[in-house]
Structure 1
Amino acid sequence: MNDCIPLIGQQMRQMALRWFTAEPLVRLTEQFIEYKLQESLKFGQLTVIHYRMFGGEGDKVYRAAGAVELFILASDILDDLQDQDAPGKPWMQVSGAAALHVASSLLTLSQQGMLDCTDNNDTRLALVEMMNMHLLQAANGQMLDIMNEITDEQSYLEMVKQKSSMLLSFACMAGVMLAGKPWNSVVGEYAIEIGIAAQLRNDIRDLLRWDDKSDFLQRKRTLLTLFLLESLSDEDQWIQDYFDGRLSAEDIENARARYEEACERTGTLLYGSVMSRMYYNRFEELLDSIQEAGPWKATFLQILNQEIA
């Protein structure tokens, strides 16, 4: 599937050059797209593979995949502007107003790209309705994440389903529906499982970081930080004190080794790994139930396993 990445990138550039005419908007969009191409086009690849899985032929899928990736790029920009934890990315090195404008412009451009990927009016309507449904749900999940008010496992998983899983479902379903097929409930269901598995893997990584992206240092409520806080012994009270704001970052700046030992001792890391694997295994079971997936399963798993398994 790596051979489709240049084609997706080409479509992203073409859409921007077609619809954007203001020089600063064109210039910054091109810079941001080039950065995105060096990172990952996983979502666009999922669109392509689902289009092929469900019998789609021809090159129109690359326009749809480009539209998906333009939306993901816009989401990445907005997420980084909200979190202020990725100073090295190009959109964080321009004014916040300019980055915000590019992101909002990309949101509209992605929808226009989806409209332009087919001449079949029924398919166009179905695609845009599906797109809007997913993105509105993702907006709800993102707001819950921003507010950082998660209190238990159920509310956390619901937030992830609305945020990460909806973006994956959007990418997969775009390929299914562009191929002329109706909404596929199994695809929608396994996208939820993928999203949760992937988010838990990210949470494991961010649990142990000791920088601006550390969930602990940022006092971010995730399934793993909640589990950790519920599992602390008396000697770990400082972790609770920091999370509740009674200690500052300066107070714990030399406590990384103690913190990592507590994560291991409480079983937080094991818990995260087991939970992630459970959702990933459920995804594989659902994938196996789709007959069309057979010839594409290995490629599909290869795309996902780079970041999830």
Structure 2
Amino acid sequence: MGGIENIESNRIKETMLNLITTQLQNDGLKSFIFSFLTNKEEMNFANLTILHHQIFDRKDPELLNLAAAVELLVLSFDIFDDLEDLDNTEEPWMKIDHSIALNAATVLYTLSQQTVLSLSSPFKHQILASLLKYSIQAMEGQHDDLEDNIASEEDCLQMMKLKSGSLIALASVCGMQLAGENDKLVEEYAYQIGIAAQTDNDFRDLFNPLKNDMKNQKKSLAVLYLQRNYNEHANDLLKFYQSGLDIKEQFGSIENYKQKLLDSGVMQYLNVVKQIAINRASRMIDNLNINSEHKEFVKSILINKKT
């Protein structure tokens, strides 16, 4: 496609490793961070940065450095999140002393900012301002999630917009700004894609009943829906999550469990919320000031994979 170049994840990863190697002196710290990247194959946020630069028909030579900086920052947020939630115990940063993991995450967060500031682009300060803006929003969303004081669907959607949507907006807006562009629609549809992505996470969590969030009935769209007790199936599911049993112990099979989810209405509810967000994002992408071919390409990356 004209103007759009496929940049392999290996090139992004190599750039990330190079930034770590050249900017850090402590071999022990570098070794830990390298271990975090060993099994990392998907570079979703870096690719968002690249995509939103290229759709404006730009090819800045420092694009890979910016994309790597964004991916390093998001990795730091993943580590912070797991340490705070005590989840995803198989990740390499959860298998080491948590104080060391926390320090390494702080290094990654700082290194991402240093990388942006070292760009020669005339837009680097604008990019750094956006990186910090959306980082703070994501932290505010994480605070609301950790406090678990969410009382309504509106509160939950706002938390999802901040926690998940802000990071998608960060990657997308920074790529656009490196191209010298500034379209508010990019931020707005990124928020909607974030809500859709977080709704998918809520759905997946239903099939991981032993996860801390489910056992503790931490507020999510799914839990809020079930707590309304629309029917006996919803109440049965809430009791199940508190029981500590696995799916087969309680329901006999995954098929029986899926039927219980359907009977409760929670699966249908999450799908409706997701589709509303996707439809909103699609309409915004249609209004972007780029050629129609690039609009369809953005949709193929952000929307078609989620429908």
TM-score surpassing 0.5?
yes
Query: Following the alignment from structure 1 to structure 2, what is the Cα–Cα distance between the partners of residues 255 and 105?
Result: 44
Which residue type is aligned with residue 154 of structure 1?
Answer: E
Q: Equivalences for 1:122-137 in 2 at 5 Å?
A: 123-137=123-137
Residues 128, 193 of structure 1: CA spacing in aligned structure 2 closer, same or farther, 3 A cutoff? same
Query: Following the alignment from structure 1 to structure 2, what is the Cα–Cα distance between the partners of residues 18 and 117?
Result: 15
The secondary structure found in structure 2 opposite 1:54 is coil
Query: Following the alignment from structure 2 to structure 1, what is the Cα–Cα distance between the partners of residues 280 and 64?
Result: 29
CA contact (8 A) 2:141 2:160 kept: yes
CA contact (8 A) 1:210 1:256 kept: no
Residues 306, 206 of structure 1: CA spacing in aligned structure 2 closer, same or farther, 3 A cutoff? farther
Displacement of 1:306 after TM fit? Answer: 7.7
Cross-structure match for 1:156: 156
Query: Which whole-Å deviations, capped at 9, do the CAs of 1:237-280 have from their partners, x for residues lacking one?
Result: 4544567xxx5526998324576443211211011112101111
* Partner residue of 1:289 out of 287, 290, 299: 287
Alignment of 1:99 with 2:72, yes or no, is no
Cross-structure match for 1:65: 67
* Partner residue of 1:279 out of 277, 287, 293: 277
The secondary structure found in structure 1 opposite 2:128 is helix
CA contact (8 A) 1:228 1:263 kept: no
* Partner residue of 2:28 out of 24, 30, 39: 24
Cross-structure match for 1:203: 202
Query: Following the alignment from structure 1 to structure 2, what is the Cα–Cα distance between the partners of residues 33 and 94?
Result: 15
Query: Following the alignment from structure 1 to structure 2, what is the Cα–Cα distance between the partners of residues 229 and 238?
Result: 11
Which fold has the larger relative contact order, with Cα–Cα distance below 8 Å and residues 6 or more apart in sequence?
1
CA contact (8 A) 2:15 2:68 kept: yes
Displacement of 1:131 after TM fit? Answer: 1.0
Cross-structure match for 1:185: 184
Cross-structure match for 1:3: 7
How large is the RMSD of aligned CA atoms in angstroms? 2.3
CA contact (8 A) 2:160 2:195 kept: yes
Displacement of 1:23 after TM fit? Answer: 0.9
The secondary structure found in structure 2 opposite 1:85 is coil
Displacement of 1:6 after TM fit? Answer: 2.2
Displacement of 1:99 after TM fit? Answer: 0.7
Cross-structure match for 1:254: 249
Query: Which whole-Å deviations, capped at 9, do the CAs of 1:14-67 have from their partners, x for residues lacking one?
Result: 11111111111111111112322x2x2111101001111123223311111000
Alignment of 1:49 with 2:57, yes or no, is no
Which residue type is aligned with residue 250 of structure 2?
Answer: A
Cross-structure match for 1:34: 38
Question: Percent same amino acid among aligned pairs?
Answer: 29
Give the count of matched residue pairs: 300
Which has the larger displacement, 3-12 or 98-107? 3-12
Q: Equivalences for 1:167-186 in 2 at 5 Å?
A: 167-182=167-182, 184-186=183-185
Query: Following the alignment from structure 2 to structure 1, what is the Cα–Cα distance between the partners of residues 249 and 116?
Result: 50
CA contact (8 A) 1:35 1:90 kept: no
Which residue type is aligned with residue 105 of structure 1?
Answer: V
Query: Which whole-Å deviations, capped at 9, do the CAs of 1:191-244 have from their partners, x for residues lacking one?
Result: 11111111111111112323326x43241211111112213435764544567x
Alignment of 1:265 with 2:267, yes or no, is no
* Partner residue of 1:224 out of 208, 211, 222: 222
Which residue type is aligned with residue 204 of structure 1?
Answer: F
Displacement of 1:188 after TM fit? Answer: 0.9
Cross-structure match for 2:141: 141
Residues 286, 250 of structure 1: CA spacing in aligned structure 2 closer, same or farther, 3 A cutoff? closer
Displacement of 1:144 after TM fit? Answer: 0.8
Displacement of 1:293 after TM fit? Answer: 5.2
Cross-structure match for 1:212: 211
Which residue type is aligned with residue 134 of structure 2?
Answer: H
Question: What's the TM-score, normalizing by structure 1?
Answer: 0.89
